[in-house]
Chain A
């Protein structure tokens, strides 16, 4: 069963189409990334799925409930991190979390406080629990908002840029939490992000959207390969000489060979790194090249993403 299914989901603001016939399927327990430049329509998609705004066209089901006819059921099944943390500034972190947990129907006080404590401790906020939220930094508020979104253990999570504005350590904490939620609680997570690293590390599949439409969807590996093709083998040498270079160029698997500017490494583009690497290394060694290191480089998701968006915007 799918946790989220959309079909031709469309949102128009007046005549402007923010989301344009978007169709996607997210499996149960899957972490799905939604990428795309500013204004691509990520937040708008999320808001429609969370029943905060009604779609202009198309349909969607979340946790099996139609977003148009069953908004209450949808809302009970999801935890949402919105763009703004929106907390009661005058109340303490604990009071805020306690209130929202109750509002979400976590009635047993012991279970509630256990859950809140575990989450606050996870984010190292337990010591600050009695401080007013007004005194919290942006990142701390963001963490509280994530605690709020997850406190009632919703089976589905919609997270809009959870790591925006966070330091690398905090961003890692949030990634770890998402990983833990997906593995231990089998939560389905729909993640909007600009941090391609997050997407690469966490998401089983990602979708890149631009101007309201889906450009491409697939696993991070698939996207990388689809977009920027072949792997590159980097062979680090004590020194590059003509004999070594000629030997490598002679190998039929080497599609393209370049020497790095410091003249200490060869960059060899191949089709299949697994079969090419041992052959190439052997030839270098026979040509009396002194090998220091061998790496197989793949383009990062970021490179792939940038290339893709650039091509898209040229059209």
Chain B
């Protein structure tokens, strides 16, 4: 139809201009890759912080006195190792629970743990984890050390407590694994925001919008062609970043179709937001300032450079109101954890925000003023 054709010709003219502007190209494609290289190199060593581990305590006692509650003592001992921190959970399906909480590490303390320990019958603790990950090694090592300690204390070296390892299908993520979705989020945010804020206020100033309004092209068509362009740019940037992450840092990423909704809705959201900021501001200078106020907190607090779990609580709370957070979290859920339920929630939140921002942009965006 005529509309599609007009979108296409506007798309062509816009992408040409964009590609000719070295600055935009640098920010859209090259800069995120540089960030991956820098941050990846800085943090590629193992972190020395405590590892959180979900634990299900199925022990059935006896619990008459704390001395007889051996399972609790065992978990306390694990905690005091300071390499791992036990988080006890109640659930009927432990492996599902782990997946839902984006973790591959877990421990199950079996029923009759205390009774068998006291009766010197063999005990089997289950340790879940991905054997190739570094955290798994730490957990296994810690559990076996504490088990040995307990065996020694009670039975003079006679092994009562043993454990089997159980493999879960994904690796506990390395920093670079989380960095790639984070920086894809970064580029989904930054390239449309910085250039569209600028372009829309610039076009307004030099009357290009007025000129376009004289042609049969409509506002919607113009906006659609911009969104289309940023989706294309995001896909290109995505492939580039994944390639660099995998080749340079051996990152592990799940490349599935589940990524596409994020790679399409994300640019739609921020292209609309960029237009909105450029539209509601009077001149390019204020547009730039407002654009930065909107962009910068998201750039750093939405889990782009660091997982938000390392941030203090109040910053985590702020992160939860930033739309980009849900895009980054969703990308993480799809690419790293395979947590589809989580990803669906994220995409639902992002979609709602996008619809609102897009509608506002279309409504407030004027081709021209009187």
Contacts and interface: CB of A to CB of B under 8 A. Distances in A.
Interface of A: 13, 50, 52-54, 72, 75-76, 80, 82, 84, 86-88, 90-91, 95, 99-100, 102-105, 107
A84 B216 contact: no
Interface residues of B, number: 24
B370 interface: yes
A52 B210 contact: yes
A53 B370 contact: yes
User: Quick one: which of B6, B210, B215 has the most chain A CB within 10 A?
Assistant: B215
Interface of B: 2, 5-6, 9-10, 12-13, 16-17, 20-21, 206-208, 210-217, 368, 370
Contacts of A82: 207, 210-211, 214
Contacts of A90: 17, 20-21
B210 A86 contact: yes
Contacts of B5: 102, 107
User: Quick one: which of A95, A99, A105 has the most chain B CB within 10 A?
Assistant: A99
Given A82-B207, A84-B207, A107-B5, A75 B16 contact: no
Contacts of A91: 13, 16-17, 20
Contacts of B13: 88, 91, 95, 99
B10 A103 contact: yes
B17 A88 contact: yes
Given A90-B17, A91-B17, A99-B9, A104 B208 contact: no
B210 A104 contact: no
B214 A50 contact: yes
B207 A100 contact: no
A309 B61 CA distance: 108
Contact of A84 (B2, B21, B206): B206
Given A99-B9, A103-B217, A88 B212 contact: no
A88 B18 CA distance: 11
27 contacts: A52-B210, A52-B368, A54-B370, A72-B216, A75-B214, A76-B216, A80-B214, A82-B211, A84-B206, A84-B207, A87-B208, A88-B13, A90-B17, A90-B20, A90-B21, A91-B16, A91-B17, A91-B20, A95-B13, A99-B13, A100-B211, A103-B6, A103-B9, A103-B212, A103-B215, A103-B216, A104-B215
Contacts of B12: 99
A15 B368 CA distance: 21
Closest 9 pairs (CB-CB, A-B): A103-B215, A102-B9, A99-B13, A86-B207, A86-B211, A90-B17, A84-B207, A53-B370, A86-B208
A80 B210 CA distance: 11
A52 B367 CA distance: 10
Contacts of A52: 210, 213-214, 368
A72 B213 CA distance: 10
A200 B368 CA distance: 34
B147 to A, nearest CB: 68
A104 B216 contact: yes
Nearest to B211: A86
B285 to A, nearest CB: 19
Contact of B206 (A53, A75, A86, A102): A86
A90 B199 CA distance: 12
Nearest to B207: A86
A88 B212 CA distance: 11
Contact of A88 (B6, B208, B213, B214): B208
A209 B17 CA distance: 42
A104 B2 CA distance: 11
B16 A105 contact: no
Contacts of A50: 214
Nearest to B217: A103
B210 to A, nearest CB: 7
Contacts of A54: 370
Contacts of B211: 82, 86-87, 100
Given A52-B214, A100-B211, 16 more contacts: A50-B214, A72-B216, A86-B210, A90-B17, A90-B20, A91-B17, A95-B13, A99-B12, A100-B215, A103-B6, A103-B9, A104-B215, A104-B216, A105-B2, A105-B216, A107-B5
Nearest to B370: A53
B135 to A, nearest CB: 50
A12 to B, nearest CB: 11
A75 B21 CA distance: 32
Contacts of A99: 9-10, 12-13
A221 B208 CA distance: 39
A16 to B, nearest CB: 13
Nearest to B2: A105
A108 B9 CA distance: 13
A13 B369 CA distance: 12
B319 to A, nearest CB: 37
Contacts of A13: 370
Contacts of B214: 50, 52, 75, 80, 82
Contacts of B213: 52
User: Quick one: which of A52, A90, A103 has the most chain B CB within 10 A?
Assistant: A103
Nearest to B18: A90
A226 to B, nearest CB: 36
Contacts of A86: 206-208, 210-211
Nearest to B215: A103
A99 B13 CA distance: 7
A84 B203 CA distance: 12
Contacts of A75: 214-216
Contacts of A107: 5
A308 to B, nearest CB: 31
B270 to A, nearest CB: 22
Contacts of B212: 103
Contacts of B217: 103
A296 to B, nearest CB: 46
B206 to A, nearest CB: 6
A45 to B, nearest CB: 15
Nearest to B206: A86
